[in-house]
Amino acid sequence: MKFDSPAPSTQADTTPVQHILTELAPKHEHSALADFAAGLGSHLKAPLVGVKQLLSGKTFDDDETAWKKPEPESKAKMAGEMVADATIFLGVTAIMRRLPAGAALAPIEAGGAIGFIAPLKNGEGMSQRLVHAASGAATMALIEKGPKLLASTGLIKSAETSLTGTFVAGSVIGAGTEQINTYSRTGHFADLSQTATGAVSFGLTGSAFHGLGLAMGVGARTLGERSRLQDMGSIVSSRPNLALLPQIESLFRKGETSAASSTRSASTEGWHLVLGSGGSKAALTGAGVVLATRAAKLKIETIGGVSGGFVPAALAATDMSSQRLLQVAKDTDIAALLTQRPIFTEVVRQHKRLDLLKDGLYDTTPLGAMVESHMPGAKWPEKLWTMAVGGEHSEVIFTKKGVTEYSPSGQHVLDNKAPSVGDAVRATSAIPGVLASMTMYGRRLYDGALGKFGKCPSDMATTHFGIPEERIIASLPTGAMTATNARLYRLAKYLSGNSEHGAGQLVEHAGIVIRPEVNSFHSLRFSLQPAQREEAILAGYRAALEQFAQRGLIKGIPLVQARGAGESMSAMEAYFAPKPKFPFSINTDILRLTGPK
């Protein structure tokens, strides 16, 4: 949206930004750079003038001979105004995203706020200010919702999948916003020439950015949907119907499958849980998945996790009570467990060499200590495992029995005993450049999701433990910013030395695949509101429970009760609360005064 420029003012009223831009601009009168600086400065100044008017309760002073007849604007000046407007909009939107109303309405709220503080002309009052606010909000609502609304009519192709659709949608929105802005400023609608100019410019601009996104390969054509679908396919179910498993095996092993094994209940067999990566999202949804396995009364023989998924895996491997696990997941503020490193002090004052790839922006020692504090006797749990990656395409797996490296040259035992769980947490969650790496066994180790086994390394469970893939339950969260996360993931693999040029999509296999969806925050956001943490836990629980129900692992009244627990956090807390035990439940005859009959 566009600000109305404030009136020409005296030199004393010039803002520092405008003064600097003016000084930097060439001094000849019709310089394009000077026009650009003038447009940029005037529109950056506009919110300050509007706030000044609000505080003083008036429009312009008499010496500010406001709103003379506008002179024709050059294209350079209009470009400067657009840059200033975009800068202000992005800043205000960022502020709005932190408000309780949430991120969904932030652009519309920003449009309204910018319109409200826009400078008024002489004689205008609060009613005009409210009109400007409504105009700004309406403009942003049209921009935000317009393309999908037009596509839903079927008259045009989706703006998300077609350059033509982008241009048509942009043209309609441009015409609409031109009418809104003109009416709010002048009290009458724009003429045909103004409307056509707004429509074409908006349509061409939208198409240009859309085309640029395609050319750069950032997935703008689908606005992240294509990346999300690829991510959804990064782990697939190897046996979509476990009920058919005995019949399928009998085709290959005639006479080998006994009657006992063919009738064995899937719910009584051991399962092997793998919790994939995904930062805070993986940590929280992983806790929900663990709770769902307990609601379904599944026997979990091994539990592994990488990156954020290792935190709930480690807690669950201790056989921590469900009530305690839920409480820890709800109450833990991961942001408070990441210590920001004093880079300025280390480099400038202590003259240390800056190595962000090794040291990262944050130290994860407190996070490792928190998880370690929940380990009974500070020992490695029997059924727990995790992994990290080293350079040159090597994977290092940590188990109760020790540490093993898988590299192109073969399999090597690095240690016959397990490290501390705290060190393993730090190694498997070391995102290059973000979270500090760990140097162990003479190797610099990074996030366990960056190796050849992918974000949810279920194949490592098969490779190292010999676990049949149909007995593996794998969980990998999805949701907000999936396309962005995919690009960051590829960058992290490259920085860790594990990029695989020319390799196709790595597909992991599992008997049951769980994909919890959380859209209110992205994986690398660690400072979360309590409601966001609860949402992610519930999402993991519900997604897992439905997969178990589809496989017939939980049914009937237990399923109804378990589903009820997933309706809210209070319901889940009540469901997993310890049940009081009747003191005479073992021998009810003790209640008889005369003894058994």
111 by Cβ neighbours in 10 Å (0-12 / 13-18 / 19+) ranks as buried
CATH placement of domain 226-576: 3.40.1090
Nearest CA to 112 out of 130, 91, 85, 87 is that of 130
The predicted pLDDT at position 519 comes to 87
Q: Which residue has the tokens 């077609």?
A: 162
CA distance 103 to 167: 26
Nearest CA to 295 out of 560, 550, 45, 526 is that of 560
Average of per-residue pLDDT values in the chain: 73
- DSSP readout, 514-551? E--EE-SS-TT-----HHHHHHHHHHHHHHHHHHHHHT
The predicted pLDDT at position 63 comes to 41
Q: What is the pLDDT of residues 28-71, one digit of tens each?
A: 445 777 877 887 888 788 888 878 887 877 765 444 434 344 45
The pTM assigned to this predicted structure is 0.55
Q: What is the pLDDT of residues 541-568, one digit of tens each?
A: 999 999 999 999 999 999 999 999 999 9
* 418 φ/ψ sector (left φ>0, alpha ψ -120 to 50, else beta): beta
The predicted pLDDT at position 152 comes to 65
Tell which wins on pLDDT, 511 or 245.
511
Nearest CA to 148 out of 134, 129, 161 is that of 161
Statement: residue 471 has pLDDT above 80: yes
Statement: residue 363 has pLDDT above 60: yes
Q: What is the pLDDT of residues 398-437, one digit of tens each?
A: 999 999 999 888 999 999 999 999 999 999 998 887 888 8
Tell which wins on pLDDT, 105 or 409.
409
| Band of pLDDT at residue 462, cut at 50, 70 and 90 | very high
**Contact of 356 with 433, CB cutoff 8 Å:** yes
Statement: residue 115 has pLDDT above 80: no
The predicted pLDDT at position 251 comes to 42
Domain ranges of the chain: 226-576
E-state strands within 336-409: 339-340, 362-363, 384-390, 394-399, 402-407
